[in-house]
């Protein structure tokens, strides 16, 4: 037996999960769960990287205390955000959070210099102000000298791995979220990087999922109680890449199955062998991100359960009843509710989400929700309608229409949303696995360490 550790950082929380493969099955053991907070400081919004690193080490300590056979560690996080490391190996400040407002107007500035359609035909990435390309362009305007002093640009999973091993490198899946790769060649788009005036030396070796990044630094190993020989494996380091690796897709070349990674964000798409870089795909808001095993995740980034999560936090602050079981039951009884555009700017980061929904409906002359159940039903029904639109747009770009939808991640527990989605799309909705990200992460490690011999064995385990 060997134990593999998946370190999974989400935008709201993180956890360390142990996995053990035996007899065609994967056992999971959650060892440590911890919050992830965004910190507003001096006009910017940051991630507290040192605190997150310490929480990860606590998870590794618990693993060392429970399992004597830890073989490797794999790390996945959300996309686009990064840290800078100087030539001495020091972190140059806490990483900025993608919800920082400093990049809001940057796309307009960038596309005054380069053609947006031609850019998409190379990168295949949906334009969003949060993307790394725009973050870096904004930092260059703010302090170009500081950016040039950096030695390595490391995306969040790369950064955690660097301080575990001392070895820099950029995993392909997470790097693909940057909007700085050539989608066809799957390499850094150096002509674009030069055009934007970004320091070329920041962009390091691209690592495929399954590559061993290195082993634990002796000092880290001693601190957490693990062997210095424990490997750190580059998994599908973007959490959605790991999650999609764990989807039990239908077999056969003729079957077209879509995935919906359901959480704070909704990632709706299909796994393809090659990117789709047409103008139609760009206008429909599709992105081409790297996947495990050479796949392209052709998907749309949709606002997911973020709106509902904000409502729940507000109601909890007021002392109202806000458990999900209660709210879903109330929503099932609600009728004749309005719909909202879940991707509208109104719902990105309002001070009061309930008021934002009410104002949105009032301005458009539609029924304003009154009860908690009506608010929840409005959000879930609107998400289902957005998924229907996304699948219709996908069908217009694929050779064959999507025949079923796999919902994975924590959102697949929401039975009402699953039912509304099935009714809206008219195709079967299959729920699970809930722990898709951890499963995909662990399976890449097990294969890299030789404990899984072939792809068929992976499908049997899933």
The CA distance from 401 to 399, in Å, is 7
Which of these, 353, 240, 350, 247, lies nearest to 300 by C-alpha position?
Answer: 240
Q: CA separation (Å) from 283 to 125, 268, 270, 272?
A: 11, 16, 18, 19
- HSE, side-chain direction, 13 A CA sphere, residue 170: 28
What's phi and psi for 166, nearest 5 deg?
80, 5
- Other CB atoms within 10 A of residue 68 CB: 10
The CA distance from 214 to 208, in Å, is 14
Q: Is 335 exposed, middle or buried (0-12, 13-18, 19+ CB in 10 A)?
A: exposed
Taken as a whole, the chain contains a residue count of 462
The whole-number pLDDT of residue 161 equals 98
- Which residues in 418-434 are b (16+ Cβ under 10 Å) and which e? bebbbebbebebbbebb
- HSE, side-chain direction, 13 A CA sphere, residue 9: 28
The CA distance from 411 to 218, in Å, is 39
H/E stretch holding 324 reads: helix 324-333
Query: Tens of pLDDT along the chain (462 residues)?
Result: 799 999 999 988 999 999 999 888 999 999 999 999 999 999 899 999 999 999 999 999 999 999 999 999 999 999 999 999 999 999 999 999 998 989 999 999 999 999 999 999 999 999 999 999 999 999 999 888 989 999 999 999 999 999 999 999 999 999 999 999 999 999 999 999 999 999 999 999 999 999 999 999 999 999 999 999 999 999 999 999 999 999 988 765 556 899 999 998 999 999 999 999 999 999 999 999 999 999 999 999 999 999 999 999 999 999 999 999 999 999 999 999 999 999 999 998 899 999 999 999 999 999 999 999 999 999 999 999 999 999 999 999 999 999 999 999 999 999 999 999 999 999 999 999 999 999 999 999 999 999 998 778 888 888
Q: Is the bond into 200 cis (omega within 30 degrees of 0)? A: no
The CA distance from 413 to 411, in Å, is 5
Beta-strand runs (E) in 162-256: 170-171, 181-182, 187-188, 206-207, 211-215, 231-234
Name the 3-class secondary structure at 146: helix
Instruction: Mark whether 239 is an active-site residue.
Output: yes
The whole-number pLDDT of residue 343 equals 95
Q: Hey, which residues does 30 pair with through a beta bridge?
A: 17
The CA distance from 234 to 245, in Å, is 14
Full-model pTM: 0.93
- Asked whether 271 and 248 are in contact (CB, 8 A), the reply is no
The CA distance from 307 to 378, in Å, is 11
The CA distance from 316 to 328, in Å, is 16
Selecting among 239, 346, 352, 359, the annotated active-site residue is 239
The whole-number pLDDT of residue 335 equals 92
- Sign of the four-CA dihedral 193, 198, 200, 203: negative
Residue 101 C-alpha from the chain's centroid? 19
The whole-number pLDDT of residue 43 equals 87
Long-range contacts: 426-433, Cβ < 8 Å, 24+?
Answer: 427/391, 427/402, 427/403, 428/403, 428/404, 429/404, 429/405, 430/248, 430/404, 430/405, 430/406, 431/407, 432/407, 432/408, 433/246, 433/248, 433/408, 433/462
The whole-number pLDDT of residue 430 equals 96
Q: DSSP class of residue 292?
A: G
Which of these, 246, 258, 236, lies nearest to 436 by C-alpha position?
Answer: 246
Residue 181 C-alpha from the chain's centroid? 17
């Amino acid at each position: 037996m060997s134990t593999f550790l998946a370190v999974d950082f989400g935008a709201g929380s993180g956890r360390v999960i142990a996995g053990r493969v035996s007899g065609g099955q994967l056992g999971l053991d959650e060892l440590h769960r911890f919050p992830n907070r965004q910190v507003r400081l001096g006009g910017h919004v940051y991630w507290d990287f040192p605190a997150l690193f310490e929480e990860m080490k606590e998870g590794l300590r618990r693993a060392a205390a429970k399992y004597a056979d830890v073989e490797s560690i794999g790390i996945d996080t959300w996309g686009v955000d990064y840290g800078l490391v100087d030539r001495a190996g020091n972190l140059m400040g806490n990483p900025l959070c993608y919800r920082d407002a400093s990049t809001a107007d940057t796309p307009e500035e960038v596309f005054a210099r380069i053609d947006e359609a031609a850019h998409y035909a190379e990168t295949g990435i949906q334009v969003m102000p949060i993307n790394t390309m725009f973050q870096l362009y904004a930092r260059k305007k703010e302090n170009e000298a500081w950016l040039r002093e950096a030695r390595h640009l490391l995306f969040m999973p790369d950064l955690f791995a660097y301080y575990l091993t001392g070895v820099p490198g950029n995993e392909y899946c997470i790097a693909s979220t940057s909007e700085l790769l050539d989608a066809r060649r799957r390499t850094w788009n150096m002509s674009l990087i030069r055009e934007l005036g970004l320091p070329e030396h920041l962009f390091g070796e691209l690592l495929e999922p399954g590559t061993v990044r290195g082993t634990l630094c002796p000092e880290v190993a001693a601190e957490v109680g693990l062997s210095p020989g424990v490997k750190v494996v580059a998994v599908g380091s973007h959490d959605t890449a790991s999650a999609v690796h764990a989807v039990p897709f239908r077999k056969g070349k003729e079957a077209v199955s879509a995935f919906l990674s359901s959480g704070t964000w909704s990632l709706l798409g299909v796994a393809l062998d090659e990117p789709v870089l047409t103008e139609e795909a760009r206008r429909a808001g599709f992105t081409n991100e790297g996947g495990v095993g050479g796949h392209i995740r052709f998907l749309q980034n949709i606002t997911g359960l973020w709106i509902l999560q904000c409502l729940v936090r507000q109601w909890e602050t007021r002392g109202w009843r806000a458990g999900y079981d209660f709210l879903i039951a109330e929503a099932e009884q609600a009728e004749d509710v309005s719909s909202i555009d879940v991707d509208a700017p109104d719902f990105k980061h309002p001070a009061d989400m309930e008021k934002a929904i009410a104002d949105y409906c009032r301005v458009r002359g539609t029924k304003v929700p009154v009860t908690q159940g009506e608010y929840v039903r409005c959000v879930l029904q609107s998400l289902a309608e957005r998924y229907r639109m996304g699948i219709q747009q996908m069908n217009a770009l694929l050779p064959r229409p999507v025949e079923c939808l796999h919902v994975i991640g924590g959102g697949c527990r929401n039975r009402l949303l699953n039912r509304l989605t099935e009714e809206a799309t008219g195709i079967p909705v299959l729920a699970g696995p809930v722990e898709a990200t951890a499963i995909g992460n662990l399976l890449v490690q097990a294969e890299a360490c030789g404990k899984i011999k072939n792809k068929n064995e992976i499908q049997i385990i899933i």
